[in-house]
Amino acid sequence: MSIADRSAGAIETVGAWLLGLLWILPLAYAAWTAFHPAAYATRFDLLAPLTLANFVAAWEAAPFGRYLLNTTAIVTMILAGQFLVCTLAAYAFARYTFPGKSVLFALVLMQLMVMPDILIVENYRTMFGLGLVDTIGAVALPYMASAFGIFLLRQTFMTVPKELEEAAIVEGCSTLGVLWRVYVPLARPVFVAYGLVSVSHHWNNFLWPLIVTNSVETRPLTVGLAVFSSTDQGIDWSIISAATLMTAAPLLVAFLIFQRAFVQSFLRAGIR
Amino acid sequence: MAEIVVDNLTKVWSGSPAVDGISFTCASGEFTVLLGPSGCGKSTTLRLIAGLEQPSAGAIAIGGRDVTRRSPAERGIAMVFQSYALFPHLSVAENILFGLKVRRVPRAERDERLKRAAQTLGLTQLLDRKPAALSGGQRQRVALGRAIVADAAVCLMDEPLSNLDAQLRQEMRAEIRSLQRRLGMTMIYVTHDQVEAMTMSDRVVLMREGRIEQQGTPAELYDCPASGFAARFLGTPPMNLLPAAIGAGLLPGVPAAAGGSIGVRPERLRVGAPGRGLAASIEAIEYLGADTLLTLDAAGAKLIARTDGHARHRIGEVVGVSCAAGDLHFFDAGSGRRVEANGNGCNAPERGEGA
Amino acid sequence: MAEIVVDNLTKVWSGSPAVDGISFTCASGEFTVLLGPSGCGKSTTLRLIAGLEQPSAGAIAIGGRDVTRRSPAERGIAMVFQSYALFPHLSVAENILFGLKVRRVPRAERDERLKRAAQTLGLTQLLDRKPAALSGGQRQRVALGRAIVADAAVCLMDEPLSNLDAQLRQEMRAEIRSLQRRLGMTMIYVTHDQVEAMTMSDRVVLMREGRIEQQGTPAELYDCPASGFAARFLGTPPMNLLPAAIGAGLLPGVPAAAGGSIGVRPERLRVGAPGRGLAASIEAIEYLGADTLLTLDAAGAKLIARTDGHARHRIGEVVGVSCAAGDLHFFDAGSGRRVEANGNGCNAPERGEGA
Amino acid sequence: MSRLRASIHASLLLLPAVVLLAAFTHVPAVRTFIGALYTTPRGNRPEVFIGLDNYRHLLDDPVFWQAMANNVWYAALTIPLSVILALVMALAVDARLPGRAALRMAYFTPTVLPMIAVANIWLFFYTPGYGLLDQVLGLFGVAQTNWLGSRDTALNAVIAVAVWKEAGFFMIFYLAALQTIPHDLREAAAIEGASRFTFFRRVTLPLLMPTTLFVLVNAVIGAFRLVDHIVVMTRGGPDNATALLLYYIYEIGFRFWDSAYAATLTTVLLAILAVLAAVQFLFLERRIHYR
Amino acid sequence: ETTVNMYYPVAVGGPITKIIDKMVADFSAANPDIKVNPIYSGSYQDTITKVVTALKGGNAPEFAVILSTDMFTLIDEDAIVPFEELVSDADKAWLDGFYPGFMLNSRTGGKTWGIPFQRSTIVQYWNKDAFKEAGLDPEVAPKTWDEMVAAAEKLTKRDTSGNVTRWGVQIPSSGFPYWLFQALTTQNDVILANEAGTKVTYDDPRVVEALQFWVDLSKKYKVHPQGIVEWGTTPKDFFEGKVAMMWTTTGNLTNVRNNAPFPFGVAMLPAKVRGGSPTGGGNFYVFKNASPEQRKAALAFIKWATAPEQAAAWSIATGYVAVTPAAWETEAMKKYVAEFPAAAVARDQLDVAVAELSTHDNQRVTKALNDGLQAALTGAKEPGQAMKDAQAEADRVLRPFQ
Ligand SMILES: Nc1ncnc2c1ncn2[C@@H]1O[C@H](COP(=O)(O)OP(=O)(O)OP(=O)(O)O)[C@@H](O)[C@H]1O
Ligand SMILES: Nc1ncnc2c1ncn2[C@@H]1O[C@H](COP(=O)(O)OP(=O)(O)OP(=O)(O)O)[C@@H](O)[C@H]1O
Ligand SMILES: [Mg+2]
Ligand SMILES: [Mg+2]
């Protein structure tokens, strides 16, 4: 590497890290306030005493253990549903031609635009009709077919080299076989990306779960978290931060584990 | 068992035909080579037979069944792709076993076949690698392995040996040929290597710009090229094509009047003392180890003659070039098609059957 | 101008060396061929020289400058990749012109060079196509075109002609060679085709399992193979290697005692009436058009002899096989290295300079 | 494969998605939009058909126009900023930077953190006087600013939060897509002497286009859909300075319980989004090389 | 056994859900034939959303705690039943046992629709250290607007470069500025809405005058921060010493008590023409879809929860104002007030308290006011103009109800 390259590299590294610091600032702040008494929430003093009291207070304000379990069940269910439903649909959109394809695709994209909140009243009525109110299934069901996922996977599938599909077909793969053995493994980084995003999103989803569930046995973490936000008394940053860290920690850990999956070496050397 | 009949097959890519109404038959258990210059439609033909492209016109039958509208999986074929088409996420072993797993071949048999194929192909050490960590030739061998283990009734191979060295290629040639015989596979094999075409095939289909220029046994093609194109395409160095006026000088008694061109293969030319045959001067000498190629100039026409490895000639030397009567080929001036002049009929010699 | 010095270069992939301490020099303006069996490290060597891989040890100098730690762009090279590495979203013309645009070559010159290259490569009709709509050989030609237009001082080519038919390949060979001469490029060229190696190169570097087996002019390698491996690697069909005890029968006066093996090239064998030389029976006859290959059995050892195209032999016939004194090569039993027995020194014949 | 069979396969693959989408999106949406032609039904007053009256009202609604203007500004800033930042981030963490695992994490955190909590933290950053922003700016002698409490700065302050939230989200998709670019193209370009920027512009960017289309469509839609932080931070205030269309819809629908008018607004918003998405799609899809 | 579902919001800090659960458990112990099922439903806003959604889905709860100002909304949705239909004659007295200030928001058209439960009002808090520092009597809060301005001018502190390091007074104006503004209008002796909830008086000169005063606090006297002041951060500003006096809910009592690092005082709001403050907070509502037994069961719980002992316990645990005078007479409450006299300030202010602004289509009508207030406070409009615009919008919205 030349000197010019190296210094360019150094500038980029510094720039990337500055941006990173900026981006992590809220989390850093949350960590700061969560581990310090409320008095230090807005003052940064290296000698400030550490405490776990905020976590204790937050933990006790709601049955977080149970909520954690519920949330895990909900996001797992949604993710499994989305992977299945979206993969199938995206495959059809990416590799088949059939009459009405573009109209159907436009209809799918519509869902990206229709905000689910607007449909809450209607969807509640549907769930009530199905007798699903206050079940985990009711929380998950409306999100299983995700236009976001279909669109994303379609875009990805369309970049998979066609010859690989052809090779698989010649080897005797059925339609689903090709999907499962070629497209899905080749799109792995995108599946990981989608999985992380979907889990994060539903981990933090609040309004619909609040509306459609009534009992501790079905409610997700965010409902517990909401106890601390928007109170009449103003904001207690210490407790909110502690609760936030508590609820987000599993996600952060999951991200650290899965981020490696973005780096897949196998497509790196040219396969012609 | 699995005869392939291609009938009037046509494939048009945005206006220009890549394959233009070709018909040929590959009998069951026969080894057919598709030969032709780059871009003439060999791969396209193969892909049409495999069902990977929809023909614009024409039909394909395999084993007596019209499969024109059938999916590739239903055609019972194995295929080596020119671009290898290895699955980058699978190891060598998984790549080779892909089809067997899909078809639920029992594990023990799978392992057995893998072991054999890996041995044949010299891949035993590499079974756990991903394709990205292989050399070009190794990738090609993996692609070959995938077709070999399939034991399909029909096998299509698209330049499967192009990235292998001479020695390995020779071994593979023998291996593929014997495998094909042993299993009675019907093979369609694309190659640009005429030695492969000559040594392996039962039948050669020579293509040119989407059409069939000539088809027949290798000897037929070599000894009786149907056109100037066919004559020059087979053989290295290619056949010399001379204007009839000049070429007539090679052999007494050849009429120069007819026009058109006269062809003679480099290895058939005898280079001797000046005075006998056509007078020519040596322009270049190329030493190939086993042979030496002489580039000759005869009245402005260029000829190449192949002589012994250590033939002692010098550049600039004037020599006489001649040949035997049966060695001359006559081609029409306009169409380039063969003319059977002077009762110079074509009789391909018997072909010695290889080991 | 641009001499390439490779010094003790090593590249280790997860434990096993792909290139294992090789050193060679390619003088400025010289044409060097890297030859060797599949997986021996040719591409890796080329990629190391290009700067696409970091060597595990050793150094590379280009034009007297140590470039071991330099980026590929700083090395002033052009390269043809074995995998082509075409940009899938760019047309043929854009692919070929990519480097020139990057280097801000003026438009007029760019167009000029593109036109010339496209003509040479027969791509003129295809300039607007995307790589996906090209045949294998056409893709390879585009990759070649990219290197040709670059006019770089150093040019690296990795099996650039492997997917072309014989005729086109021959044209390309001549074209590349003349281009290289005209521009005084320093060329390192990987091929598995020994004809290419023999006809194009000034120097051949023969590799085996990451090491250099032998290097020298093509004639040196062909006539004085340094080992049994080298002897068999060059030449098709390869040199016959016989146990000394049997091989001694070819020529009167050869001592059979020494052990080891005796090599003789197929084209050097004379097949005549029984009684003269080694007695052998004909096992197979392979007709190649220009020649016929005879597979012979002499006391259990197999030999191949190359004879004239239409030599009339029959399978099972018993013949006598002999050769001239200078045609025998002796190799050590253990190491396989050449033994200069009986003052049988090696003198490569002068190599006629091609046109 | 025959066309008929292809169609059958495709419809089977699409069936689950279509059923779920229809049940939970299209049917309710259509029912909602029909509602836009009626007055809002209340417990003690049944709905009355009024045709396009709701749309007429919308044209005279100053808050709607204000929200529209806000949203246009909001979109004009958040879309390019977040998409470009996302790409920059993805390129940064795809390269061999020291500590890129940590960096990936940093960029991705906004996606992981729940918005209700995070918006509160941002509230602190923006607090006049002792908020982090003022504390830092104070070091440079900048006077206190009531970032969220003043009409001039509130919208931009909210935009910063949106960019922060979206960029890391999109980065993930760019990062995944970068992995599918064959390495030998980079090598070929390096040999041709292409600078990293040239390679990026001429090769990476075109090959990322499928992802860019995806990200752009989502960014546009996101610019009209992401309002959680508004709910917590400004509630559309001060004086509607940060009211975005969806927030306004939310207010009409869930505070005013005027479902008919909310449906009217939603129809309009949906029409805007559909047009924007379709334009992008039709414009870009044909230029994308999918391989 | 009768099962009834109760939705309830959490609007103050502390383990409210646990307190409710305990309350329900105690109730069940006393009434084994009734099963109350408490369902935490987020904030007030979330709760009304959940309730109306469930209502429209045909699945409303039997009773709920919802903002007192949502009374008209619920009536318009035909969702709730008036308590007169539920109670026996003997219980009529029970209805009259609450502070009238709270009942103002619970009755309309001669019917009682809600029962006060978690109620609050606005009071002023002051920093005694700051008062001392500014040379003011730390034990006496300003009693009138003029006194407040005078004190605030002394309390406002600037550093050498002119930046304010402490404001004199702070009245939050984010989110629901109408509520705090209502304190100012009440003190200027004007009521913003009629009892039927069909008319508002936003453009009354006295209203404009009150708004002018609020604007002047920062514009003219420069003792109040510029622009919109965030409700959520106001207590923190107070703790940080960034303001010396703040107006906020009595619900903050416990919070301030725990977190203020200095001695502080709590007082009734200052007067202009009169003293006064609006009330706030949530009432119990009983829903129509409840069966007669369920209604009875709900009523039983409501009566139990608002009985003196429970009301006192609830008040002490949460900081809400106990809703009946009787509750203040309990031993527990007396002891609490003795310990913490500030707790009684809210009670004393109830005498002059008025109903929180509440009309038909309540949120829209208050939004009109909120927008006007924020426009004036940010300087986008003159107070007079702002209130005229707000009045016009409110009139438009209310026309169908008149
Ligand atoms: N990325 C890699 N990781 C691990 N091993 C590799 C990698 N690339 C190549 N190799 C191994 O290194 C050895 C040399 O490979 P190289 O590509 O140089 O061979 P080659 O001489 O070019 O062969 P071919 O003629 O088949 O192209 C091979 O055994 C190959 O499997
Ligand atoms: N997808 C396509 N779209 C348009 N034209 C194509 C496409 N694929 C191939 N062609 C063209 O069709 C012709 C035949 O291609 P084909 O691949 O069959 O050639 P080939 O005989 O296999 O050549 P090679 O020996 O170079 O591989 C070529 O001119 C090629 O450019
Ligand atoms: Mg081809
Ligand atoms: Mg190689």
Q: Is residue D77 part of a domain?
A: yes
Size of interface B-C (CB pairs under 8 A): 188
Contacts of A211 in chain E (CB under 8 A): 49-50, 53-54
Same domain, A81 and A28: no
Say if the Cβ atoms of D114 and A206 lie within 8 Å. Answer: yes
Q: Is the CB of C138 under 6 A from ligand 1?
A: no
Say if the Cβ atoms of D187 and C103 lie within 8 Å. Answer: no
Task: Ligand 1, residue C44: give the atom nearest the CA.
Answer: 18
Say if the Cβ atoms of D21 and A111 lie within 8 Å. Answer: yes
Paired with C302 in beta bridges are C297
Q: What is the mean pLDDT of residues A55-62?
A: 81
**Least confident among B293-302, C139-148, E250-259, E358-367:** E250-259
Q: Is residue A57 part of a domain?
A: no
pLDDT tens-digit readout, B79-107: 999 888 899 889 999 999 998 998 889 99
Q: What is the mean pLDDT of residues B7-11?
A: 94
Q: Is the CB of B125 under 6 A from ligand 1?
A: no
Contacts of A172 in chain B (CB under 8 A): 73, 99, 102-103
- Do residues B167 and B161 lie in contact, with contact meaning Cβ atoms separated by under 8 Å? no
Same domain, A201 and A253: yes
- Give the total number of structural domains in chain A: 2
- Residue B351: the pLDDT is 37
Same domain, A177 and A46: no
Distance between CA atoms of C286 and D191, rounded to whole angstroms? 46
Q: What is this structure's pTM?
A: 0.88
**The pairing of beta strand B270-272 with beta strand C291-298:** unpaired
**Distant-in-sequence, close-in-space partners of C213: CB < 8 Å, separation ≥ 6:** C36, C206, C207, C226, C227, C229, C230, C233
Q: Is the CB of B210 under 6 A from ligand 2?
A: no
Closest ligand to C41 CA?
1
* Residue B152 clears pLDDT 90, i.e. is over it: no
Paired with E65 in beta bridges are E284
- Do residues C285 and B352 lie in contact, with contact meaning Cβ atoms separated by under 8 Å? yes
Q: Is residue A131 part of a domain?
A: yes
pLDDT tens-digit readout, D189-215: 888 888 888 888 888 899 898 889 889
Two tokens at A14?
A: 């510094």
Same domain, A105 and A26: no
Two tokens at E273?
A: 């023409």
Q: Is residue A164 part of a domain?
A: yes
Which residue in C39, C219, C290 is closest to B137 by CB distance? C39
Same domain, A38 and A74: no
Mutate to test the interface with A, among B70, B74, B89 (most CBs of A within 10 A): B89
Q: Which residues 150-179 on chain A approach chain B with CB closer than 8 angstroms?
A: 161, 163-164, 166-174, 177
Q: Which residues 97-116 on chain A approach chain C with CB closer than 8 angstroms?
A: none
D229: domain CATH number is 1.10.3720.10
Instruction: Answer whether E164 touches D (CB < 8 Å).
Output: yes
Mutate to test the interface with C, among D183, D186, D192, D209 (most CBs of C within 10 A): D192
- Residue B348: the pLDDT is 44
CA of B57 to the centre of ligand 2 (A): 17
**Domain extent at residue D273:** 56-288
Q: Is the CB of B18 under 6 A from ligand 2?
A: yes
pLDDT band at A1 (very low <50, low <70, confident <90, very high): very low
- Residue B333: the pLDDT is 79
Closest ligand to C206 CA?
1
Which residues does chain D have with pLDDT short of 50?
none
Instruction: Answer whether C72 touches D (CB < 8 Å).
Output: yes
Same domain, A161 and A31: no
Same domain, A252 and A188: yes
Same domain, A29 and A140: no
Return the axis-axis angle of helices A237-258 and D100-112, rounded to nearest 10°.
130
pLDDT tens-digit readout, A184-204: 988 888 898 899 889 988 888
* Residue C82 clears pLDDT 90, i.e. is over it: no
Q: What is the mean pLDDT of residues C302-328?
A: 82
Q: What is the mean pLDDT of residues C270-293?
A: 82
pLDDT band at B352 (very low <50, low <70, confident <90, very high): very low
- Residue B8: the pLDDT is 93
pLDDT tens-digit readout, C16-61: 899 999 999 999 999 999 998 888 999 999 999 999 989 999 999 9
Task: State the ipTM, two decimals.
Answer: 0.86
Say if the Cβ atoms of A270 and C71 lie within 8 Å. Answer: no
Size of interface A-D (CB pairs under 8 A): 303
Radius of gyration over every alpha carbon of chain E, rounded to an integer in angstroms: 21
* Residue B250 clears pLDDT 50, i.e. is over it: yes
- Give the total number of structural domains in chain D: 1
Contacts of A220 in chain E (CB under 8 A): none
pLDDT tens-digit readout, B30-53: 999 999 888 899 999 999 999 999
Mean predicted lDDT score pLDDT of chain A: 83
Mutate to test the interface with B, among C83, C135, C285 (most CBs of B within 10 A): C135
pLDDT tens-digit readout, C156-200: 999 998 888 888 888 888 889 988 988 889 999 998 888 888 888
Two tokens at D226?
A: 């992401």
Question: What is the SS3 string spanning E80-140?
Answer: ECCHHHCCCHHHHHHHCCCCHHHHCCCEECCEECCEEEEEEEEEEEEEHHHHHHCCCCCCC
The number of residues in chain B equals 355
C-beta contacts of E57-60 below 8 A and 24+ residues apart? E57/A121, E57/A124, E57/A125, E57/A127, E57/A128, E57/A133, E58/A125, E58/A128, E58/E289, E59/A124, E59/A128, E59/A133, E60/E287, E60/E288, E60/E289
- Do residues A208 and A120 lie in contact, with contact meaning Cβ atoms separated by under 8 Å? yes
Size of interface C-D (CB pairs under 8 A): 67
- Residue B164: the pLDDT is 87
* Residue C349 clears pLDDT 60, i.e. is over it: no
- Residue C253: the pLDDT is 74
Contacts of A116 in chain D (CB under 8 A): 25
Which residue's CA is the closest to the ligand 1 atom numbered 27? B136
Instruction: Answer whether D43 touches E (CB < 8 Å).
Output: yes
Q: Is residue D19 part of a domain?
A: no
Specify the 3-state DSSP secondary structure of E243: strand
pLDDT band at B346 (very low <50, low <70, confident <90, very high): low
Q: Do chains C and B touch (3 or more CB pairs under 8 A)?
A: yes
Instruction: Answer whether B139 touches A (CB < 8 Å).
Output: yes
Query: With pLDDT > 90 as the criterion, what percentage of chain B qualifies?
Result: 32
Q: Do chains E and D touch (3 or more CB pairs under 8 A)?
A: yes
Q: What is the mean pLDDT of residues A96-122?
A: 84
Q: Is residue D261 part of a domain?
A: yes
Contacts of E375 in chain D (CB under 8 A): 238-239
pLDDT band at C341 (very low <50, low <70, confident <90, very high): low
Two tokens at D243?
A: 């009211």
* Residue C344 clears pLDDT 60, i.e. is over it: no
- Residue C189: the pLDDT is 94
pLDDT tens for chain E, residues 1 to 402:
788 889 988 877 777 788 888 889 999 888 888 888 898 888 888 888 888 888 888 888 899 999 888 888 888 888 899 988 888 877 778 888 888 888 888 888 888 899 999 888 899 999 999 989 888 888 888 889 889 999 988 888 888 877 888 898 999 988 888 999 999 999 988 888 888 888 899 989 999 999 999 999 988 888 898 888 888 888 888 988 889 999 988 888 888 888 888 999 999 899 888 888 888 888 999 998 888 889 989 998 998 888 898 889 888 888 888 888 888 889 988 998 888 888 888 888 888 888 888 888 888 888 889 989 989 988 888 999 999 999 999 998 888 887
C279 closest CA partner among C307, C318, C246: C318
Contacts of E17 in chain A (CB under 8 A): 61-62, 227
Q: Is residue A59 part of a domain?
A: no
CA of C19 to the centre of ligand 1 (A): 9
Same domain, A11 and A134: no
**Domain extent at residue A34:** 3-51
Q: Is residue D250 part of a domain?
A: yes
- Residue C55: the pLDDT is 92
Same domain, A233 and A204: yes
Same domain, A203 and A260: yes
Task: Ligand 1, residue B137: give the atom nearest the CA.
Answer: 26
A124: domain CATH number is 1.10.3720.10
Contacts of A158 in chain C (CB under 8 A): none
Which residues have CB atoms below 5 A from the ion given as ligand 3?
B 43, 82; C 135-136
* Residue C352 clears pLDDT 60, i.e. is over it: no
Distance between CA atoms of D198 and C60, rounded to whole angstroms? 27
Q: Is residue D125 part of a domain?
A: yes
Instruction: Answer whether B146 touches A (CB < 8 Å).
Output: yes
Q: How far is A156 from chain B (nearest CA, A)?
A: 16
Q: What is the mean pLDDT of residues A133-157?
A: 89
CA of C39 to the centre of ligand 1 (A): 5
Residue type, C147: A
Mean predicted lDDT score pLDDT of chain B: 86
* Residue A272 clears pLDDT 50, i.e. is over it: no
- Residue D131: the pLDDT is 80
**The pairing of beta strand B77-80 with beta strand B154-158:** parallel
CA of B237 to the centre of ligand 3 (A): 23
Task: Ligand 1, residue C46: give the atom nearest the CA.
Answer: 18
Q: How far is C267 from chain D (nearest CA, A)?
A: 42
Mutate to test the interface with A, among E4, E10, E174, E257 (most CBs of A within 10 A): E10
